[in-house]
Amino acid sequence: MFQNIIKEIRLAWRLLRDPRVPLWMKAIPAGAVIYVLLPIDLIPDILLGLGQLDDIALLIGGVRLFTSLAPHEVVEEHLAEIEGRQVRGQVISPKSQD
């Protein structure tokens, strides 16, 4: 499970840097990060545990929404590079683009 989260973060980072992903989509994870940094919360951080859980849930949800809305072929290309597998008959080797 932790490896999947790391893979999603790597994928999101690559998609954020890819010019083929529309700018409005890139605002989704940026908005999630801004929410975490703002002092206004749905659940106050004073409530230990619960206050941090809403921040973590929002970050993970923002990343998942972003990757699900990004163009499928771009997502597949980056996933293949991360995993070192084939895309359309080409072997993609992992790059140090992360």
Domain with 78 in it: 2-91
Residue 97 pLDDT class (50, 70, 90 cuts): low
Write down the residue that tokens 């230990």 correspond to.
Answer: 48
Q: Which amino acid is it at 42?
A: L
Residue 93 pLDDT class (50, 70, 90 cuts): low
Residue 67 in any domain: the answer is yes
Residue 25 in any domain: the answer is yes
Residue 98 in any domain: the answer is no
| CB-CB contact of 70 with 15 (8 Å) | yes
The larger pLDDT score, comparing residue 22 to residue 40, is at 22
Cα–Cα distance for residue pair 83/92, rounded to 1 Å? 8
- Per-residue pLDDT tens over the stretch 37-91: 887 776 676 667 777 788 888 899 999 999 999 999 999 999 999 988 766 655 5
Question: What radius of gyration, in Å, describes the C-alpha atoms of the chain?
Answer: 16
pLDDT at 36: 85
Residue 96 in any domain: the answer is no
Structural domain tally of the chain? Answer: 1
